[in-house]
Amino acid sequence: MAWLDSNWCELSWTPWVKFSGQRSDWRKLPGGSGVYRVRPVGQRFLMYVGQTGRSLRGRLHDLQRNTLADLMPYDDPHTAAPNLWAWRQEERWDYECSAAPTTLSEKDRKAVECYLLWQYRLERKESTLCNHGRFHKDYKKSGLRATGFRGGRLSAHDERNPSGGRSHYPLEATGEPSKENWMGLKWTEISPFEGKLDRIPNGAGLYKLRLLTEPDLLYIGETMSLRVRLTAHQRRYREKREVSFSYVPLQEGIHEYELRELENDLLGAYYAFARTAPQDQFGRAK
């Protein structure tokens, strides 16, 4: 269970600090940027892995305050808080957190977050309970604060939350990012953004963008509609004719959180290969 170690993925993690701990305990958390992890007290699995460019101590205190609120918190300022809150109602869990400071750029810090989540999926064979859009099956999530909508427990007559299903099996590292067998998937032949894209399937899938003459990726994505998303990318890159794409169609009925799990696996594996995120991943092509 390497994800609980103080040197997980070669980072220097702080001791675990309980959400119910004293103010002196919270001073153990760094004041700068970095990554963090959350688990139920004494349990051997993680609930959430995140990153922040501000104060780790401040970010985690914000998460703690919202998670322990009487009502389900809004989806901002911390999107994990409603789900942590829901699991706490059901399981009566207390939580604890641990952080690892970094001096990385925002782009590479987000890539490290993806790498940590991928490593966790590889080791445990499932995702954390609160990343990738997963949510407790018996609860409806709050909206953003501006909407004024607070979620809560679903009634016996409501349909279960589809984001509460099982994790998609993790992708294993295979091949190189530019190759057609990368991560054990069957990628289409790399094609330039020229002409109409009406032959592309209109279903769910994964895709990658790169320059036709260079192996480094520009962007990795997921979508419920490959044709629509790739057409949008075609418009964004209309001034760069050399940008090309490749994709993998996925089975009908796949959930959005499963797509995000697989996208994260690709991003984590790309970071392991290149030690950075794709060029436009957390910028232009978002």
CATH number, domain of 223, equals 3.40.1440.10
Residue 177 counted as domain residue: no
| Burial of 175 from C-beta contacts in 10 A (0-12 / 13-18 / 19+) | middle
Distance CA 149, CA 83 (A): 15
pLDDT 10s per residue in the chain (286 long)? 799 999 999 999 999 999 998 888 999 899 999 999 999 998 999 999 999 999 999 999 999 999 999 999 999 999 999 999 999 999 999 999 999 999 999 999 999 999 999 999 999 999 999 999 999 999 999 999 999 999 999 998 899 999 999 999 999 999 999 999 999 999 999 999 887 788 899 999 999 999 988 899 999 999 999 999 999 999 888 777 689 999 999 999 999 999 999 999 999 999 999 999 999 999 754 3
Q: What is the pLDDT of residue 53?
A: 95
Residue 158 counted as domain residue: yes
Q: What is the pLDDT of residue 286?
A: 38
Residue 280 contacts residue 237 (beta carbons within 8 Å): no
| Burial of 131 from C-beta contacts in 10 A (0-12 / 13-18 / 19+) | buried
- Taking each helix axis from N to C end, the angle separating 81-91 and 56-67, rounded to the nearest 10 degrees, works out to 50
Q: Which residue bears the tokens 């322990």?
A: 68
Where is the domain boundary, 112, 131, 164?
164
Do 37 and 136 lie in one domain? The reply is yes
Distance CA 18, CA 24 (A): 11
Q: What is the pLDDT of residue 1?
A: 78
Query: The domain containing residue 270 runs over which residues?
Result: 182-274
User: 143 CB contacts (<8 Å, ≥6 apart)?
Assistant: 74, 75, 149, 150, 151
Do 94 and 229 lie in one domain? The reply is no
Residue 173 counted as domain residue: no
Q: What is the pLDDT of residue 239?
A: 74
Structure tokens at 277: 């995120």
Do 99 and 191 lie in one domain? The reply is no
Do 87 and 149 lie in one domain? The reply is yes
Do 91 and 196 lie in one domain? The reply is no
Q: What is the pLDDT of residue 72?
A: 98
Residue 174 counted as domain residue: no
Residue 248 counted as domain residue: yes
User: 45 CB contacts (<8 Å, ≥6 apart)?
Assistant: 39, 124, 128, 129
Do 140 and 24 lie in one domain? The reply is yes
Of residues 263, 186, 200, the one with CA closest to residue 231? 200
Element (H, E) at 150: none
Do 126 and 197 lie in one domain? The reply is no
